[in-house]
Amino acid sequence: MLKRYLLAPGPTPVPPDVLLAMAAPIIHHRSADFLPVLDAAKKGLQWLYQTRNDVLILCSTGTGGMVGSVNNFFNKGDKVLVINGGKFGERWTKICQAYGLDVEEIVVEWGYAVKPSLVEEKLKKNRDIKGVFVQASETSTGVYHDIQALGSVVKQFDDTLFIVDAISALVAHDLKADAWAIDIMVGGSQKGVMLPPGLAFVSVSEKAWAKAETSTMPKFYFNFKKERENLAKNQTNFTSPVTLIIGLNESLKMLQAEGLEKVFRRHEWLANATRKAVQAIGLELYPRESPSNAVTAIMAPQGIDGQAVYKNLREKYGITAAGGQDKAKGKIFRIAHLGYADRFDVITAIAGIEMVLKGMGHPVKLGAGVAAAQELLMA
Amino acid sequence: MLKRYLLAPGPTPVPPDVLLAMAAPIIHHRSADFLPVLDAAKKGLQWLYQTRNDVLILCSTGTGGMVGSVNNFFNKGDKVLVINGGKFGERWTKICQAYGLDVEEIVVEWGYAVKPSLVEEKLKKNRDIKGVFVQASETSTGVYHDIQALGSVVKQFDDTLFIVDAISALVAHDLKADAWAIDIMVGGSQKGVMLPPGLAFVSVSEKAWAKAETSTMPKFYFNFKKERENLAKNQTNFTSPVTLIIGLNESLKMLQAEGLEKVFRRHEWLANATRKAVQAIGLELYPRESPSNAVTAIMAPQGIDGQAVYKNLREKYGITAAGGQDKAKGKIFRIAHLGYADRFDVITAIAGIEMVLKGMGHPVKLGAGVAAAQELLMA
């Protein structure tokens, strides 16, 4: 028997109350049963996004929300700026290119956060940049980009939209869509929102909606204007994923009961305990600055394959964490503390890492990292 | 938010696959749907009990199984011997007395196991003792009584039944009903069998069935002869708790996949790691000998209230363990490693205990107990 622990940066564990809510019988999405359900979800998401803007609910993965953020607001040949500091930055570029946009990149070395001054410089020199794309938390490197600072840069440019992939950061980081002038912010269900995969959320500002009026790119599934019209009637454009939206309301209820400030502080606390514990084991964090509160990326020690750490955690100890992607593959492994996460998830992860590394012949003092985490988690 | 961990000696956590199986729609207990279900359960329990005897399935808590073990096999005024080494030993006495039996007790000091030679002496001196009642694992003290040795003592006496309350020991300890001449062995669903509360299991030997022929005590709900007749037809005497029996088959499937020897070794391994960890924290085990593999009873350190440890574990850290009962109340707290239990349950328990004790001002080196557990759990 091997008990399983899900500590990956998505999908994340779904809380018992949410699982129960989703076990209810299916209701019809065009019936009166569904209207209050979607109404609650829509208001709850506005609360979570800290916005008065519409937050669309799409039946897709987070990537669907990213695609819709491109094909609804731009035109072929538009110049856009992508901040590419990892695998998901790269994805913005790929999506924009797939739709024929003229992509300018700021390539950020993996493990580093973008300098907002660099973005400002670029925008000043290229007045025709129509949008700036970035990740809040770049899951592949475990780095958080300073969304507040970037928002105040982009907002100076009337013709430029600020588009944030907040898929893994939502819930783990304080992201104020309105106060920070985020025009489009994309979330996904299987991360901090503690749901199964299957939903994307996208907030859209009035500045962005104005752009949508002149966008002529082909759109059918991800047609945000249609979604907006439906949302006003507490509907979605196509068949609503009723089960996931019922689960969403239960998740939102849990988050609201905890309170937004406390939710952010919990994530910061768990992330901080994880970082301190990892360093107490003698390991190095992969981010050189601005570590994410959603996921901690850890350097595998000299001579140890990061993928083997991931594999041993999973096969020997039942812990599903994550390895590295692309150029970080083999060099790192990653532990999430995202969504339905509490202190003994950190303890389990750290104890497991200690045991795996020791088992692989790396000199580890068992319990050293755990003790560092305990110290902070007693609070 | 406080994530919850159930580490009490029953109810214990129910595995996901079992929860899922129990979420299936209700079938009718007198329909053909149910016959193969009960047939599988009955055979599975025989495998778990290591017996060819019938294992009755009752819709009751374990105590119902204990009551039936009295009212089906004895008559008012019969002399019986109860081994009373804790709260559940006491329960045998109370049940026997409620039915008018003449109870002789061997009172065992809490924290100790009964000496089989004492039982032999008693039986030799009192040839009219019709039954010997004992717990395999006495949950209140965390002591395991040597069932094999006791079985070989009682079997010498043709007119004496050997009745074992195996409610908390089943699955955690190797208990061979046939090879060890256990006439009646009682189990319950909410312990090692990893189910919700609601089922009792009772194996009955031919020697015991013969006694049932002459028992004239009033019986209606716990009428074992009627249950036996029904069991032969893959039925139960009254409405069958179909959901729990469907869950039972799923649990048995998990245990069979693991293999009986491995199941016992896992419990021994987790219990041993818990004991070593507790001692590495500088705490004392409550049992002076023969600790149970189902639950570890731990002495609260000087000046620390055991109930407060229990309360802090639960309220501050979300861990539901157990306090002490009766004369051990305040002196001890208890941690189970029973049923759906794996190494990070032990790690969580030990980390939690360290944090609670340190938080209560007891000098604890954080991580010391965890490291001792890790050392063993790397195996």
| DSSP code string of B66-112 | HHHHHHTT--TT-EEEEEESSHHHHHHHHHHHHTT-EEEEEEPPTT-
How much helix, strand and coil, in percent to the nearest 5, is found in chain A?
A: 40, 15, 40
Would you state the pLDDT for residue B65?
Answer: 98
Distance, CA of B267 to CA of B379 (rounded, Å): 14
Q: Which residue has the tokens 């695609």?
A: A67
Contact B370 A368 (CB under 8 A): no
Domains and CATH numbers, chain B: 5-10+259-377 (3.90.1150.10), 16-257 (3.40.640.10)
Which chain A residues are closer than 8 Å to B263 by Cβ?
1
pLDDT above 90 as % of chain B: 100
CA distance A55 to chain B (A): 25
Would you state the pLDDT for residue B356?
Answer: 98
Distance, CA of A247 to CA of B208 (rounded, Å): 53
Whether ipTM tops 0.95, in short, is no
Residue B360 has pLDDT above 90, yes or no: yes
Peptide bond into A11 cis (omega under 30): yes
SS3 A95: helix
- Banded model confidence at residue B379, pLDDT cuts 50, 70, 90: confident
Q: How many CB pairs under 8 A join A and B?
A: 96
Distance, CA of B142 to CA of B145 (rounded, Å): 10
What is the rounded average pLDDT of the residues B167-172? 98
Distance, CA of A34 to CA of A48 (rounded, Å): 21
Best to test chain B binding among A347, A350, A375, A376 (most B CBs inside 10 Å): A347
Q: Which residues contact A26 (CB under 8 A, 6 or more apart)?
A: A242, A243
Which chain B residues are closer than 8 Å to A281 by Cβ?
none
A-chain residue closest to B378, CA distance: A355
Which chain A residues are closer than 8 Å to B377 by Cβ?
355
Which chain A residues are closer than 8 Å to B351 by Cβ?
344, 347, 351, 370, 374
pLDDT digit string, tens, across residues B311-354: 999 999 999 999 999 999 999 999 999 999 999 999 999 999 99
Peptide bond into B291 cis (omega under 30): no
User: For residue A57, what are the β-bridge partners?
Assistant: A201
- Element spanning A237, H or E: none
Would you state the pLDDT for residue B98?
Answer: 97
How many Cβ atoms are within 10 Å of B210's Cβ, its own excluded?
11
Which chain A residues are closer than 8 Å to B355 by Cβ?
374, 377-378
Nearest by CB: B348 against A23, A340, A347: A347
Would you state the pLDDT for residue A216?
Answer: 94
- A355 touches B: beta carbon within 8 Å: yes
Would you state the pLDDT for residue A379?
Answer: 83
Low-confidence ranges of chain A (pLDDT < 70): none
Contact A354 B374 (CB under 8 A): yes
What is the rounded average pLDDT of the residues B219-247? 97
- A23 touches B: beta carbon within 8 Å: yes
- B2 touches A: beta carbon within 8 Å: yes
Tokens for A183?
């025009």
Contact B3 A317 (CB under 8 A): no
